[in-house]
C-alpha cells in the first residue's frame, strides 16, 4: 500500500467527510481519512441513546440525502446521513476505520503520522478531531472511598441501569440536562443536578423551529427554481458566508445575542442564573454552548429533579458532603463535565496552539489554515456564530483551498523541471 499521500485527514466526522468530498470535487484523489471508530461520526454513534440534533438546518454541502430524515436528526440518523454522504461523494473507500493516530511529527517537508497500525506520510495534514475529542474528568477528595459508580457522560447510554438508584449529575450543559431527564424518566429514585456557575437556558420549541425550517426550505427551493445557481456560484456564496473579519464577527455576535436574549428562561428561583455575557459570545469565545431545554426544566419546576448549587467538599463511601454542609447519599455520579480538543496529545508542538478556557486551541487564519505551518489545517475549531451549521461550509471550502495549494505546487515543480531541462 502506498503510504505517501497528498493529504491525510484525521477524523471522519462532519468536517473530515466534507473536506474529503471537496478534495474529490476539485481533483485530488491521493488521500486517506484516519478514523479511530468503526463508523463515520463516531462521537454520535457512541453517544447516549436519546441524543438528537438540536438544529433543524443541519445538512452538509450539496447533498441532503436520498431518504427522508427527521427534521431534528437522531444519533442513528446522523450516522446514516454521514455514511450516505461519504458514499455519494465516493470518499467512503478512502476511510481507514479502527485506526488511531498515536503521534505526528514533521520531517523536512513531510508529515509523518504514526498510528496503531502503520506509519503514513503526506504533504498536507488536516485535523478534524473536533472540540469534543477528550472527556474532561475531574477528581474529588475522597473519591477512592466512594462505593458507587462514577461515569463520564461520554460513556453513558441510558437510565435503565439506574432504576431505583440515587443519582447525582454534575454539569449544566445539554448532555447533563438530557441525562438528568433520562434518569428521571427511567425511574431513578432521586435525580440531583449539581450546577455551579451561570448558564443560559433556552426552550427548544420544536414545532416552531420546524415550521421556521420548512419555510426556509420553501424559500430556498423557489430561489433555486428561478435563479439558476451553478455549483461554483454556490461555493462562492459559502465562502462569502464564512469570510468575515474579527470586527464583523464581533458585531454579528452582538446582534445575535441581542435577538436571542429575549427567549432565555429565567430560572433564578431554582439557583440557575444567566451569564453576564451573551449566549453566543460565551459559545464563540469561551466554548460553552447554551442549554437548549428538552423537558428537564419542567421536571425541575415540579421538584422531580433537584438543583444543587454548592460544590462538592468531598465524597464519602455512600455519597457526598457539599460545601454548604449538606450530606447526601448517592449510588452513582454522572459527570456532564464536558470535553476538550486534546489535539496536543498527538501533535505536541506548543507553538501551534492558543490557551483558551483551559483548552489548547489551534492558531489559524480564521479559515482553518494554521498560521504557523501552511501545510497544516484544523477544521471545526473556528470562531463563528453557528458552529454546527457551518462545519460543512468550512470543510468544503478547506478542501477547495488545499486542492488549489496542491495544484499550484505541482505546477511550480513542473515549471522548475522544464527550466532545468532547458539549462
Alpha-carbon gap, residue 54 to 388, rounded angstroms: 10
Alpha-carbon gap, residue 383 to 373, rounded angstroms: 19
Q: Supply the pLDDT for residue 220.
A: 60
Q: Kindly give the pairing relationship between strand 353-356 and strand 359-362.
A: antiparallel
Contact 337/138 with Cβ under 8 angstroms?
yes
CATH architecture entry for 4-133+341-422 = 3-Layer(bba) Sandwich (3.50)
Q: Supply the pLDDT for residue 422.
A: 38
Q: What is the pLDDT of residues 177-227, one digit of tens each?
A: 999 999 999 999 999 999 988 999 998 765 555 665 566 566 665 555 556
Q: Supply the pLDDT for residue 17.
A: 98
HEC sequence for the chain: CCCEEEEEEECCCHHHHHHHHHHHHCCCCCEEEECCCCCCCHHHHCCCCCCECCCCCCCECCECCCCCCCCCCEHHHHHHHHHHHHHHCCCHHHEECCCCEEEEEEECCEEEEEECCCEEEEEEEEECCCCCCEECCCCCCCHHHCCCEEEEHHHCCCCHHHCCCEEEEECCCHHHHHHHHHHHHCCCCEEEEECCCCCCEEECCHHHHHHHHHHHHHHHHHHHHHCCCCHHHHHHHHHHHCCCCHHHHHHHHHHHHHHHHHHCCCEHHHCECCCCCCHHHHHHHHCCCCEEECCHHHHHHHCCEEEECCCEEEECCCEEEECCCCEEECCEEEECCCEECCHHHCCCCHHHEEEECCEEEECECCCCEECCCCCEEECCCCCCCCHHHHHHHHHHHHHHHHHHHHHHHHHHHHHHHHHHHHC
Neighbours of 29 (CB within 10 A): 11
Q: What is the pLDDT along the chain (423 residues), one digit of tens a residue?
A: 567 999 999 999 999 999 999 999 999 999 999 999 999 999 999 999 999 988 777 889 999 888 888 888 999 999 999 999 999 999 999 999 999 999 999 999 999 999 999 999 999 999 999 999 999 999 999 999 999 999 999 999 999 999 999 999 999 999 999 999 999 999 999 999 999 889 999 987 655 556 655 665 666 655 555 566 677 778 888 888 788 888 999 999 999 899 889 889 999 999 999 999 999 999 998 888 899 999 999 999 999 999 999 999 999 999 999 999 999 999 999 999 999 999 999 999 999 999 887 789 999 999 999 999 999 999 999 988 877 778 999 999 999 999 999 998 876 554 443 444 333
CATH topology agreement for domains 4-133+341-422 and 136-202+264-335: yes
User: Any idea where the domains of the chain sit in the sequence?
Assistant: 4-133+341-422, 136-202+264-335
137: nearest Cα among 154, 156, 149: 154
52: nearest Cα among 201, 212, 206, 170: 206
The topology under which CATH files domain 136-202+264-335 is: FAD/NAD(P)-binding domain (3.50.50)
Amino acid at each position: 500500500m502506498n503510504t505517501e499521500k497528498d493529504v491525510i485527514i484525521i477524523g471522519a466526522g462532519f468536517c473530515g467527510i466534507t473536506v474529503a468530498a471537496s478534495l474529490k470535487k476539485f481533483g485530488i484523489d491521493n488521500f486517506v481519512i484516519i478514523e479511530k471508530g468503526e463508523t463515520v461520526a463516531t462521537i454520535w454513534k457512541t453517544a447516549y441513546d436519546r441524543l438528537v440534533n438540536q438544529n433543524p438546518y443541519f445538512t452538509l454541502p450539496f447533498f441532503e440525502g436520498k431518504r427522508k430524515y427527521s427534521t431534528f436528526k437522531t444519533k442513528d440518523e446522523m450516522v446514516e446521513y454521514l455514511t450516505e454522504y461519504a458514499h455519494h461523494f465516493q470518499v467512503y473507500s478512502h476511510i481507514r476505520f479502527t485506526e488511531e493516530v498515536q503521534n505526528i511529527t514533521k520531517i523536512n517537508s513531510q508529515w509523518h503520522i504514526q498510528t496503531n497500525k502503520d506509519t503514513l506520510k503526506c504533504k498536507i495534514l488536516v485535523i478534524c478531531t473536533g472540540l469534543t475529542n477528550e472527556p474532561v474528568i475531574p477528581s474529588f477528595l475522597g473519591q477512592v472511598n466512594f462505593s458507587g459508580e462514577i461515569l463520564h457522560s461520554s460513556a453513558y447510554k441510558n437510565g435503565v441501569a439506574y432504576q431505583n438508584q440515587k443519582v447525582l449529575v454534575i454539569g449544566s450543559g445539554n448532555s447533563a440536562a438530557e441525562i438528568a431527564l433520562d434518569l428521571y424518566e427511567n425511574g431513578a429514585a432521586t435525580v440531583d443536578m449539581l450546577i455551579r456557575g451561570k448558564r443560559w437556558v433556552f426552550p427548544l420549541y420544536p414545532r416552531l423551529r420546524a415550521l421556521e425550517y420548512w419555510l426556509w426550505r420553501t424559500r430556498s427551493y423557489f430561489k433555486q427554481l428561478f435563479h439558476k445557481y451553478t455549483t461554483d456560484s454556490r461555493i462562492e456564496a459559502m465562502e462569502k458566508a464564512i469570510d468575515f473579519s474579527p470586527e464583523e464577527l464581533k458585531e454579528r455576535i452582538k446582534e445575535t445575542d441581542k435577538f436571542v436574549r429575549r427567549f432565555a428562561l429565567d430560572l433564578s428561583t431554582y439557583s440557575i442564573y444567566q451569564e453576564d455575557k451573551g449566549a453566543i459570545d460565551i459559545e464563540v469565545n469561551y466554548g460553552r454552548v447554551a442549554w437548549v431545554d428538552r423537558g428537564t426544566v419542567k421536571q425541575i419546576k415540579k421538584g422531580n429533579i433537584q438543583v444543587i448549587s454548592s460544590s462538592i467538599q468531598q465524597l464519602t463511601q455512600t455519597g457526598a458532603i457539599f460545601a454548604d454542609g449538606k450530606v447526601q447519599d448517592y449510588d452513582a455520579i454522572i459527570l456532564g463535565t464536558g470535553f476538550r480538543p486534546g489535539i496536543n496529545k498527538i501533535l505536541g508542538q506548543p507553538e501551534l496552539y492558543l490557551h483558551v478556557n483551559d483548552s489548547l486551541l489551534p492558531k489559524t487564519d480564521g479559515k482553518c489554515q494554521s498560521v504557523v505551518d501552511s501545510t497544516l489545517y484544523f477544521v471545526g475549531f473556528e470562531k463563528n456564530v453557528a458552529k454546527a451549521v457551518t462545519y460543512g461550509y468550512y470543510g468544503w471550502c478547506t478542501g477547495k483551498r488545499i486542492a488549489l495549494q496542491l495544484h499550484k505546487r505541482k505546477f511550480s515543480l513542473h515549471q522548475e523541471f522544464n527550466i532545468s531541462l532547458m539549462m
